[in-house]
Amino acid sequence: MALHEQDREDLMREAIALYPRAEFRVPQESEPVFWGQKRSGQFSFYFGGDPVYQFDDQGHLRRAYLDGHLYRTQGNTLARLTKVRTADSSSLERYDLTQAELEEALNRMADRFTRLQTAIEDPDQFPLTEYLADSTEQDLGKQIQAQIALVLQGATQLAPRIRGKR
C-alpha cells in the first residue's frame, strides 16, 4: 500500500497485483472508490488516498491507511506504524491501539462500508466508471457487493497477525 495518495488513473494502470480491479463513484464520497482483488482472494478498497482498507479473503482487516497513518493487524489489535527518519537510518515505530481505539477504528470502518453498501444496492445506480476484469460489469458489481457484505459480517474481526521484521 502506498503511503502517498495516488491518482485513480495510476491505481487502475499500476495496481497490477490487483486483478480484477474497478473504480466507481458513490454520492457520499468526494473521490472515486477503487476496489481490487489479489489472486489469493485478498481485496482492497481505496476511498481516495485515505482511507484505504486491505482485507484477507474472509473480509477480515489486514492493513489500513487512516488519517495519514499506516496500520497493520496484530491479530487482536491494530498497530500504528510511523516511519521515523534520521540522517543515518529509517525505522518504523509501532504503537498498538488500546481496545477503545481499536473499537473506534473498526466502528468508523463499519459505518463507511454500511453507507457504501446502501449506496450501491441498486445495480442500475452502481455503474463502474472503469474496470479491468474477465467478467461482465454486472458480475463484477456483484462480486464487489459480496465483498462489502463480507467486510460487514466480519467488521469486528481482524486477520491473523502480520509478522514484522525483527
Going by pLDDT thresholds of 50, 70 and 90, the confidence category of residue 110 is: very high
The answer as to whether 3 is a domain residue is no
The answer as to whether 132 is a domain residue is yes
Residue-number span of the structural domain to which 140 is assigned: 8-64+109-153
The answer as to whether 89 is a domain residue is no
The answer as to whether 166 is a domain residue is no
- Hunting for cell 480484477 — which residue is that? 20
Domain count of the chain?
Answer: 1
The answer as to whether 39 is a domain residue is yes
The answer as to whether 77 is a domain residue is no
pTM: 0.88
Note the pLDDT tens digit of each residue in 130-144: 888 898 988 998 999
Contact 131, 21 (CB under 8 A): yes
Supply the DSSP string of 10-35, one letter for each residue. HHHHH-TTS-SEEEE--TT-SS-EEE
Q: Write down the pLDDT at residue 28.
A: 83
The answer as to whether 48 is a domain residue is yes
Contact 42, 62 (CB under 8 A): yes
The answer as to whether 102 is a domain residue is no
Note the pLDDT tens digit of each residue in 6-17: 444 478 888 889
Q: Which residues of 118-144 are buried (b: 16+ CB within 10 A; e: fewer)?
A: ebbeeeeebebeebbbeeeeeebbebb
